Amino acid sequence: MDFKYVILGGGVSAGYAAREFVKQGVKPGELAIISKEAVAPYERPALSKAYLFPEAPARLPGFHVCVGSGGERLLPEWYSEKGIELILSTEIVKVDLASNTLTSAAGTTFKFDTLIVATGSAVIKLTDFGVQGAGSKNIFYLREIDDADELIEAIKAKKDGKAVIVGGGYIGLELAAVMKINNYNVTMVYPEPWCMPRLFTPEIAAFYEGYYANKGISIIKGTVAAGFEANANGEVTAVKLKDGRVLDADIVVVGVGARPLTTLLKGQVEEDKGGIKTDAFFKSSVPNVYAVGDVATFPMKMYNEIRRVEHVDHARKSAEQAVKAIKASEGGKTVDQYDYLPFFYSRSFDLSWQFYGDNVGEAVLFGDSSPTSPKPKFGSYWIKDGKVVGAFLESGTPEENKAIAKVAKVQPSVASADQLTKEGLTFACKI
């Protein structure tokens, strides 16, 4: 099978790239998406949120791309209408860039002129480290829709049971909330001194930990899962912690990070910081090979350094940038360099936060961050070299979230940290 363009991977990036190809005038039969998943590209963040709700859960086709950014929903038939070959349930096991070929597990060969690598990340599993009993049933990882479906079956089977969440990052916090909403007795376990340490300051984390505790979620910090006990059916019954404690468990959900899937290209492209090194157009060291989303290590113009970003917002935007660059270069034109403002967000219970920019320098907290407040609303700015370089806001309105994004982009000078504490959100809204 021979195509002008092949997108390797069927996640968020693939869907947004396909839409951009159509905007740019791709011809029927030129583009193929090869995915090991059995469904057309969908908005992955739904899996740790509404997909697991006991009432009115999100289901496909409701969250196919590109609804996550307010765009049209691309149903499976959209691809066939546009002449895009959607090759599903197909795992690629070999990539040969010298001959422009991909080989599937079934032995099918696909040829390409231009390749977009959109393989995303694979979850880090406790079995990778030989943790005792980590292969027991009802220990879950959440990455794909099949994982979420298996978790839903277990939630129903072990109704109102005990859940242990291993990990205190995105997945940990969102899954702890959703398991509580499913009426589970929930305990979170993580080794760090506070939750979401890559982004949260101790003060921000204290709010979320307090809020979760008020919801009845137990939090155990400073230790890890060292082993699991199982019953005669091989189902997990307990989590053994390194500090000697043992927690009863009917369901365990592990969220301890992910690794970019670059193995198929090892030794064929230049790598940096765990990803495939690209330029500001997502072109790799091999001229007809582009990498987008989690697997790309790219120049971040704002900070004049090379970074790799794992987030859905970047997955969408980098895919669009790569396609624009590919189509422009075919016409002898260029596009603007990728100028990305880091953006992260999360929703759990009645909470919803957004963060923009860089969390470096001195952090300044403002607003009402009491976990017992009926309507908490607070934020933080980060100051470096006299400039505001990052901003975080919990429970902001769309206008207020736009204001903190603008602050992080513009990086205004500030007289003192006291000024930010006093002015709070007003500072962002007047920029």
pLDDT digits (tens, 9 = 90+) for 200-231: 999 999 999 999 999 999 999 999 999 999 99
What the block records as the tokens of 146 is 């099949």
Alpha-carbon dihedral sign for residues 403, 408, 410, 411: positive
Q: Looking at residue 294, what DSSP letter applies?
A: G
User: CA 158 → CA 179, 230, 246, distances in Å?
Assistant: 12, 15, 19
Amino acid 105 reads: A
Q: Helices in 26-140 by DSSP H: which ranges?
A: 76-81
**Which residues are CB-neighbours of 218 under 8 A, at least 6 positions away?**
186, 187, 188
Strand order in the sheet with 296-300: 271-272, 275-277, 296-300, 305-308
Instruction: Look at residue 62 in the predicted model and tell me its pLDDT.
Output: 97
Report the pLDDT value the prediction gives residue 146, as an integer from 0 to 100: 97
Decide if 265 contacts 276 (C-beta within 8 A). yes
Distance, C-alpha 295 to centroid of its chain: 12
**Alpha-carbon gap, residue 367 to 375, rounded angstroms:** 11
Q: Which residues of the chain have pLDDT under 50?
A: none
Q: Which pLDDT belongs to residue 162?
A: 98
Listed as own residue / partner, the contacts of 324-329 with beta carbons closer than 8 Å and 24 or more positions apart are 324/20, 324/24, 325/281, 325/282, 325/283, 325/290, 326/5, 326/114, 326/116, 326/290, 327/21, 327/24, 327/25
Name the CATH superfamily housing domain 126-256: FAD/NAD(P)-binding domain (3.50.50.60)
Spatial distance between the Cα atoms of 227 and 220, rounded to a whole number of angstroms: 16
Residue 295 and residue 132: Cα distance in Å, rounded? 30
pLDDT at 285: 98
Distance CA 388, CA 360 (A): 10
The Cα 104–Cα 125 span in angstroms is 24
Query: In the beta sheet, which residues pair with residue 207?
Result: none
Q: How far apart are CA 178 and CA 171, in angstroms?
A: 10
In terms of CATH architecture, what is 2-122+259-330?
3-Layer(bba) Sandwich (3.50)
Residue 184, SS3 per DSSP: coil
Comparing CA positions, the residue from 423, 191, 199 lying closest to residue 311 is: 199
- As a whole number of angstroms, the distance between CA 307 and CA 144 comes to 25
Could you give the residue range(s) of every CATH 3.50.50.60 domain in the chain? 2-122+259-330, 126-256
List Cβ neighbours of 49 (8 Å cut-off, separation of 6 or more).
Answer: 58, 174, 178, 347, 348
Q: State how far the Cα of 405 lies from the Cα of 143, in Å rounded to an integer.
A: 28
One of 3.30.70.20, 3.40.630.40, 3.30.390.30, 3.40.50.880 is the CATH number of 350-429, namely 3.30.390.30
CA distance 252 to 227: 12
Radius of gyration of the chain (CA): 23
Determine contact, residues 121/310, Cβ cutoff 8 Å: yes
User: Closest by alpha carbon to 33, among 120, 117, 146?
Assistant: 117
Give the C-alpha distances (Å, rounded to integers) separating 82 from 50, 86, 229, 375: 30, 11, 51, 47
What residue spans in the chain does CATH classification 3.30.390.30 cover? Answer: 350-429
